[in-house]
Amino acid sequence: MRRILTTAASTAAIAVIVLGAAGAQAGSLGRACTAAPESQYLPASQLQSKVEALGYKVQRVKIAKACGEIYALDKNGAKVELFVDPTNGTIIGTN
């Protein structure tokens, strides 16, 4: 009986760690998009223009944790979150 409780507690602890880490990265890339200083970041309007030139319809732009986060609609109208290098507008990842 004691072994069952220990196993259940261990499983619960692992689930909390795994799910907690996944929750912490929801809505973020989980890493910086650049190591450059903020003084080298492009204005949000320029990041928006670069992404729109690729065919996205931008709804919101923000820069957080050394990464440009752009909420947009793709060419098919699906919602996407783009992570861009704030120094040049290159798309690093999507969510």
Long-range pairs, 69-76, Cβ under 8 A, ≥24: 69/27, 69/28
Query: Sorting pLDDT into bands at 50, 70 and 90, what band is 16?
Result: very low
Cβ pair 30, 11 in contact under 8 A: no
pTM of the entire predicted model = 0.69
Non-local (6+) Cβ contacts of 63 within 8 A are 41, 44, 47, 69, 86
Q: Half-sphere exposure (CA, 13 Å, Cβ side) for 71? A: 6
Quick one: average pLDDT of 42-49?
A: 97
47-81 pLDDT per residue, tens = 999 999 999 999 999 999 899 999 999 999 999 99
